[in-house]
Amino acid sequence: MLLLLLVAVLFSGCLANELEPYNLTAQQMFLANDFNGDGKFERAELDLSFYIYDSEPLDGIISRLEYTSYINKTTPTLYNLSHELYDLYDIDNDNFLEKHDYDAFFKLMDYDENSWISEQEFVHYWGILLESLGHLIDVGGTK
């Protein structure tokens, strides 16, 4: 499954042809989202990574439109991928990303269940996810 987020959060600024090799992209995503630089991706950092998509006055709820519009505006080649990621993040399929969705997503990445995600856990999770969804990246620049 998968920030979250990123997401696509996490893909802001990446170009489609720069996503491979996926493990290096995942490592860059980890470094970009480890906001305090302590080598741990913590639950609070997941929230911070999603705030960028919240176009309402930080209501903590991200609609599909908010999420995919931001991705289309910043990185159009990832627009198709953004829909798939949104579906993965939206655990209860209610078309809103909320705290319980983030909690579930975080738990998926936290393989050792120690309440934080190491770089190795993060890169492992995202490397597999990106490889499985790589076909959704629009390398031609059109949707």
Rounded distance between C-alpha atoms, residue 53 and residue 64, angstroms: 10
pLDDT for the residue numbered 18: 60
* Amino acid 120: pLDDT: 97
Alpha-carbon separation of residue 118 from 6, 7, 39, 85 (angstroms): 17, 17, 7, 21
CA 114 to chain CA centroid, Å, is 21
Could you tell me what percentage of the chain is helix, strand and coil, using 3-state DSSP and rounding each to the nearest 5?
Answer: 55, 10, 35
Cβ atoms of 81 and 133 closer than 8 Å: yes
pLDDT, tens only, 39-56: 999 999 998 888 888 887
Q: Which of 52, 37, 39 is nearest to 5 (CA)?
A: 52
- Per domain, the residue ranges of the chain are 20-136
